[in-house]
């Protein structure tokens, strides 16, 4: 069983922000912004590559509700999912990073030269 499935099953504690029948949102233990919340489906899905359109439709509504309840919708926020090793996915359970609470930068690409990736 993966780490996030254990969190869903309450086998591992988490700082829950929002929960419904199908989704769970909790604070990231290594925040990259003043507000850094992970939103996950309660069913195990490895990554965005495997998610059904129905689950994504529910996830969209859930993240929008999360943004409203945390007041991130007022000034803006970022939603990120990482897919696979090259995409930086560390936990093989679909999750979305919801970041906000400040003007966010995009530092890791600010000085990138596309030629370095070819």
Give the active site residues. 95
Break the chain into its structural domains and give their ranges: 3-117
pLDDT, position 35? 96
Q: Consecutive 10-residue runs of the chain (118 residues): their mean pLDDT?
A: 96 97 97 96 97 98 98 97 94 97 78 58
Distance, in Å, from the CA atom of 38 to the CA atom of 27, rounded to the nearest integer, reads: 6
Alpha-carbon distances of 55 from 27, 73, 101, rounded to whole Å: 21, 22, 27
Show Cβ contacts of residue 5 under 8 Å, excluding neighbours closer than 6 positions: 44, 93
pLDDT, position 106? 79
pLDDT, position 105? 84
What is the DSSP-derived secondary structure letter of residue 70?
T
CATH superfamily, domain 3-117, is: HIT-like (3.30.428.10)
């Amino acid at each position: 069983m993966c780490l996030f499935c254990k969190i869903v099953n309450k086998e591992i504690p988490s700082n829950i922000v929002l929960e419904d029948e199908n989704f769970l949102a909790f604070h990231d233990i290594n925040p990259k912004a003043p507000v850094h919340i992970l939103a996950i489906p309660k069913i195990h899905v490895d990554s965005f590559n495997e998610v059904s359109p129905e689950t994504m439709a529910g996830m969209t509504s859930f993240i929008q509700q999360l943004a409203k309840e945390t007041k991130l919708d007022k000034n803006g926020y970022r939603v990120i999912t990482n897919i696979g090793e090259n995409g930086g996915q560390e936990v093989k359970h679909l999750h979305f990073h919801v970041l906000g609470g400040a003007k966010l930068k995009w530092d890791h690409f600010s000085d990138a030269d596309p030629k370095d990736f070819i």
